[in-house]
Amino acid sequence: MPQRAAAQLPLPGAPPQGSPAPTSPPAPPSPGRLTAPKLLARGLPVPIRGRGATPGARVTVQVRLRRRWSAVASRRARRSGRYRLRFRPRRARRVYRLRATTPGGPPSRPVRVRTRPIVLAAVGDINLGDDVAAVMAYRGVRFPWSGTARMLRRADIAYGNLECAVSRRGSPVPKQYNFRGHPRALRAAARYAGMDVFSLANNHVGDFGTAALLDTLAWARQFGTVPVGAGRNLTAAARPRVVRRLGLKVAFVGVSDVVPPGFAAGPRSPGTTYADPALIRSSVRRARRRAHVVVAAFHWGVERSPTPSGRQRFLAGVARRAGAQVILGAHPHVLQPVETGKRSVTAFSLGNFVWSAGSPASASTGILRLRLSARGVEGARLAPAVIESTRPRLLRR
């Protein structure tokens, strides 16, 4: 007789025949990998990026505060698993620890973001011609900067008033003093001394005519510096120039209240920005819309006067009310007071710097070091110096 096949009984614990195979539980949503800048200017929002997250997952960014993690922002991950967020701190801190989480999933690896103020080093009048040129011809173009270059290079932004033309063209215009420097001297100021921004809104940049003024602009840009307060026309001269460091945007405008005939820029003619209150308000307000901090550079006041005039105080008030947090003055050739306010500072005159000083008062100078954040001026200190043979030398305190 034919034998029947023995019925196969299911093994203990095996699913019944015909039932679907068991599936593993779904993996919990993942926030992926979090990245953020390692160093950022103080007070700025922290830009955060993530990748490798579960598509569509709700990602929450947390910050470590007082020994616990607090949620500060959230966003759904895109199909690519990427996402972007911004953390806007209510209080500026030196270090932030951040991580990302998803509901029911493990947190990402924490990242550290350090913050610090941006240092602006500001100096007074710089003349690359006249007696300074004679000293450089003998001792080299770096000599006037050899006592201060290290401090200037260490700053995030170094600013000064370039009170001469830099050009091989042109003839002296009819006036008492005419100053002109060689491009090599300007290159040393930019690349050896670390100067970043020059105000050209003064009464000497046009000493050799408009062609030389335009050359000065071109040379300054060629050497990597930012010229302000002069241009091919009034619109260009009054335009704010923005310098960015660690995410902080610092806008500079330059204005001269000492304008020899033919120096002022016109609608179609090169020159410097003149100190018209309406023009100051307009330039500063434009700068305020584009930057976190606005620096207004003025050429004003009375030569050799240690105290600011009423005109200086009036123009400073116009700039402050329009939104300038930093006001830097030049022209008196001596130091005048540095006044601090709420997140602001006004240096009415920073005196001479690279210059042939002829008296103890005009030889007294310094480097004004400002700590800037997204909130304005966090601190100010004048590092004193004295000019010896056209070379400023820092004094120890």
Check residue 90 and give its pLDDT.
Answer: 85
Beta carbons within 8 Å of 299's beta carbon, 6+ residues apart? 161, 199, 201, 202, 203, 254, 255, 256, 257, 258, 329, 330, 331
- How far apart are the C-alpha atoms of 272 and 53, rounded to whole Å? 54
64 — phi, psi (to 5°)?
-85, 115
Nearest CA-CA partner of 44 in 118, 111, 132: 118
Encode the chain (397 residues) as per-residue pLDDT tens digits. 455 544 555 555 555 666 565 666 677 889 999 999 999 999 999 999 999 999 999 999 999 988 899 999 999 999 999 999 998 888 888 999 999 999 988 999 999 999 999 999 999 999 999 999 999 999 999 999 999 999 999 999 999 999 999 999 999 999 999 999 999 999 999 999 999 999 999 999 999 999 999 999 999 999 999 999 999 999 999 999 999 999 999 999 999 999 999 999 999 999 999 999 999 999 999 999 999 999 999 999 999 999 999 999 999 999 999 999 999 999 999 999 999 999 999 999 999 999 998 899 999 999 999 999 999 999 999 999 999 999 999 998 5
- C-beta of residue 187 within 8 angstroms of C-beta of residue 228: no
377 with 370: CB under 8 angstroms? yes
Burial (CB count within 10 angstroms: exposed 0-12, middle 13-18, buried 19+), residue 103: exposed
With CA atoms as reference, report the closest residue to 33 among 88, 103, 106, 87.
106
pLDDT of residue 11: 54
Nearest to 188 by CA among 230, 242, 132: 132
Of the candidates 95, 135, 131, the one whose C-alpha atom is nearest the C-alpha of residue 113 is 95
User: In angstroms, how far is CA 368 from the centroid of its own chain?
Assistant: 15
Burial status of residue 7 (CB atoms within 10 A of its CB: 0-12, 13-18, 19 or more): exposed
Amino acid 3: pLDDT: 52
Rounded distance between C-alpha atoms, residue 364 and residue 357, angstroms: 9
Please answer whether residues 274 and 259 qualify as being in contact, where contact means their C-beta atoms are separated by less than 8 angstroms. yes
- Domains of the chain as residue ranges with CATH: 33-116 (2.60.40.2470), 118-394 (3.60.21.10)
